[in-house]
Amino acid sequence: MTRRGLAHWSRQPGALLALLLFPVMMLVMFAYFLGGGIAVEGGGDYKEYLLPGLLTLTMAFGLEATMVALTQDINRGVLDRFRSMPIAPSSILVGRSVIDLLASLAGLLVMALTGLAIGWRWHNGAAAALAALGLLLLLRFALLWAGIHLGLVAGKPELVQAVQILVWPVAFLSSAFTSPDTMPGWMGALAEWNPLSATAGATRELFGNPRWGGGSWATDHHTLLAVAWPLALLAVFVPLALRRYVRLSR
């Protein structure tokens, strides 16, 4: 299943290129167009605050590519062919998730190189940087399974786009661009407990980049939440996605 996805990449390199360039465009836009007007707590460099947030934010974007591919397989009868083969039903979904993780890893590396080019740096050594990368991929893996389940529920590629719209308010209601302290009270509280805020805060800490404070339990336990949130999402959506997929393939 993973080789099948890689073969699709080789036939459609433009889609992969667009996936890699989109986060770079966002980084340049926010760093240079808006960064001059946003202050960082403690007077740190906004680029160093921004990059971990954008790395986290991009983990929530692009899920529709996997969701659309899955719904296309459903509507084209590909699942019927797979069902006749001696393979586990889970292998199809796991193969999709592995392909997505490979694309996400490539995107993270491209974005990190772009960050280095515009002045971002990490300060806590290679081991901490690899740990931050692991947290980012863990979040992506969890969000991907949530997306797979929603894609299976939607059933049609046209409906997937509507589901993807829901990602935007969740992604931007976080600490990716600015501190929740600058938001209204109720909105700031939601942003503090957002899974993306937890991963963004944990990666900033691991990279040694400027962080936001606040004094709440969520802000003081970023790393714990950056692990707990994805594991909770996986515990919910992996069984749901597998059950839905088995039901559709009968």
Residue 132 CA to residue 117 CA, distance in Å, equals: 19
Residue 238 structure tokens = 């992996």
Residue 73 CA to residue 78 CA, distance in Å, equals: 5
Q: What is the 3-state secondary structure (H, E, C) of 22-74?
A: HHHHHHHHHHHHHHHHCCCHHHCCHHHHHHHHHHHHHCCCCHHHHHHHHHHHH
> What does each of the 250 residues of the chain score in pLDDT, given as a tens digit?
888 878 877 777 776 777 778 888 888 888 887 665 566 665 667 888 889 999 999 898 878 778 887 887 777 777 777 777 787 777 888 888 888 898 889 889 999 999 998 888 898 889 999 999 999 999 999 999 998 888 888 777 777 777 777 788 888 888 888 888 878 888 888 888 999 999 999 999 999 988 776 668 888 888 999 999 999 999 999 999 988 888 876 6
Nearest C-alpha neighbor of 226 from the set 192, 206, 197: 197
Residue 226 structure tokens = 């950056």
User: Which residue is associated with the tokens 């969000």?
Assistant: 143
